Amino acid sequence: MAYKIPLFQLNFDEAEENAVIETLRSKWISMGPRSQALEERFAEMFGSKHAVSIANCTAALHLALLAVDVKAGDEVLCPSLSFAATVNCIKYVGATPCFCDVESLDRPTISIEQIKANFSERTRAIIVMHYAGHPCDMDAIMAFANEKGIPVIEDACHAPLSELNGKKLGTIGAIGCYSFFSNKNISTGEGGMLITDDQSIYEKVKLLRSHGMTTMSFERSKGHATAYDIVELGYNYRMDDIRAAIGLAQLEKLPEDLQKRKHVRAWYLENLKNESRIVVPFAENANFSSNYVFTVNLVDSDFTKRDQLRDFMHENGIQTSVHYPAIHRFSIYQDIPAELPITEYVCDNTLTLPMFGSLTQEEVAYISETLKKGIQHVFG
């Protein structure tokens, strides 16, 4: 069906079109000068020493685990409330995911108490995910990780330019990973970025990104090298310059778009503040956020009622989604023991409402009023 208000709207215009045309006319479309320019601009904006453009964020997470030397037989603490890539990358290196519950309905991010409870002698890393662009309890998580001497990898797919106490999410742990998938704050279709302040991690990721080759084709085309060696078993995880050019255009738009999203979120919070049947996650978060998505969690509900509410919203022309199905419930992970009552409740009772910078105040009011009517329709 055609929705009156979609879940997401791509923030593209002539800037992206011109960037692609200029790249095509340059006659260099694989990883080259625009990929390098994107890395430099990204590192500058995010306050990181190093940035590496990657084919997608799944690949970035994979390289992150390889860079901190996670191997077969190791365990990695992680949330189940995320997209599957957050956990699939652990399987790629032969390690075992150790699922941790989230804090609460209003803070559906990995719980420090669960991290402590699930830590073992086999734990080699922690992956956190900053849900909807809002921060995990990074002070407590980093204190524990530093005490145990294990790295923290930040899945910051939802959180470009989001902050915690003035520091960008993705720059607090050893490595930050970002997604440029088509519905993300920065959209290039496919693509991603890995950032780090650690020189050794940076060098290893750059090497593994492109087959373990010591020089790249763009360097050789400019006469900076005439040959290469392969010194490690690497991957083809490169970003091309067409996507990098789009990424540069998107990156320059990002601050203004996030300010617009900030207003959209404020309208939602005002319209829904007296609705007792829902909890709005991170409603009290005063840190700057990317506001990637806007979710509500239903109180005293179950998945059938949530799905009825989704149907009601759709019938009234409003597209919704669910962020996310619980990863530990997928068939491939059901052999891993996991008791995650809060995660399971959230996954059964969360609803994602439209969120993008060009939403109007009138549209947010319509979505909010329809949600209230839907709640009355479902719950009576």
| Residue-wise pLDDT tens digits, 199-211 | 999 999 999 999 9
For 167-190, the pLDDT digits (tens) are 999 999 999 999 999 999 999 999
pLDDT band, very low/low/confident/very high, at 304 (cuts 50, 70, 90): very high
Same domain assignment for residues 232 and 336: no
Nearest to 61 by CA among 294, 235, 251: 235
Report the alpha-carbon distance of residue 233 to residue 229 in Å, rounded.
11
Judgement on whether residues 206 and 283 belong to the same structural domain of the protein: no
Q: Do 280 and 237 have their domain in common?
A: no
Return the DSSP state at 319: -
Burial class (CB in 10 A: 0-12, 13-18, 19+), 19: buried
In a domain, 6, yes or no: no
Local confidence band at 227 (pLDDT 50, 70, 90 cut-offs): confident
Amino acid of residue 375: I
Which one is catalytic: 168, 184, 204, 253?
184
**What is the span of the domain harbouring residue 163?**
14-250
In a domain, 354, yes or no: yes
C-alpha distance across the termini of the chain, in Å: 27
User: Residue 352 pLDDT more than 80?
Assistant: yes
Per-residue pLDDT tens over the stretch 72-126: 999 999 999 999 999 999 999 999 999 999 999 999 999 999 999 999 999 999 9
* 184 noted as active-site residue: yes
User: Residue 39 corresponds to which amino acid?
Assistant: E
pLDDT given for residue 262 in this prediction = 98
Q: Within a domain: residue 213?
A: yes
Report the predicted TM-score, pTM, of the whole model to 2 decimal places.
Answer: 0.96
Whole-angstrom distance, CA of residue 270 vs CA of residue 266: 6
Whether 375 is in a domain gets the answer: yes
| Distance from chain centroid for Cα 233 | 27
Residue ending a domain, among 250, 282, 316, is 250
Q: Say yes or no to pLDDT of 358 above 90.
A: yes
CA 36 to chain CA centroid, nearest Å = 22
Q: pLDDT at position 90, please? A: 98
